[in-house]
Copies of this chain bind each other. A is one copy, B any other.
Amino acid sequence: MNNKEKLRKAGLRPTKQRMIIADILLDGINRHFTAEILQNEINSSGNSMSIATIYNCLKKFRNCGLIKQIESSKDTAIFDTNINQHHHFLDEETGELIDIENDEVNLRKLPEIPQGYLNNGVEVLIKIKKQI
């Protein structure tokens, strides 16, 4: 399935801008990135795009499940092209995130979900620190 079809299937109009972003993000390679990093890649690809459009697209892509947004306390939103359930190492000093595939983690015991709620995904974050 090509990117135009992926966008259509997600219910998004395949505009020029969304296609440029899809060509960069939906290449099957897993990466973590910010809006600014993406803008640099767009520029490097010979295109250019308003930062508002980049944020608009990222929000649409996220809401459609084409990308994920990572729960981390950085001021800057970090997105992830790995949409499979998985986990992360986080170097709090640098903010660097490293994927942990889902089968690398196994939970023996989980708490009961609060009344009236459903489990909507478990994320394990392993904070790491450079050895001195």
**19 contacts across the A-B interface (CB closer than 8 A):** A71-B72, A71-B73, A71-B90, A71-B125, A72-B72, A73-B73, A73-B78, A89-B111, A92-B120, A98-B114, A101-B111, A104-B111, A107-B108, A117-B130, A117-B131, A119-B126, A119-B128, A120-B128, A120-B129
Residue pair B113, A128 in contact (C-beta under 8 Å): yes
**Which A-B residue pairs are the 10 nearest by beta carbons?**
A106-B109, A104-B111, A106-B108, A108-B108, A117-B128, A120-B129, A120-B127, A71-B73, A121-B127, A123-B125
- Residue A23 lies at the interface, judged by CB distance under 8 Å to chain B: no
* Given A107-B124, A110-B126, A120-B127; 13 other pairs, CB 8 A cutoff: A71-B72, A73-B73, A91-B117, A104-B109, A104-B111, A105-B107, A105-B111, A113-B128, A116-B130, A117-B130, A120-B129, A123-B124, A123-B125
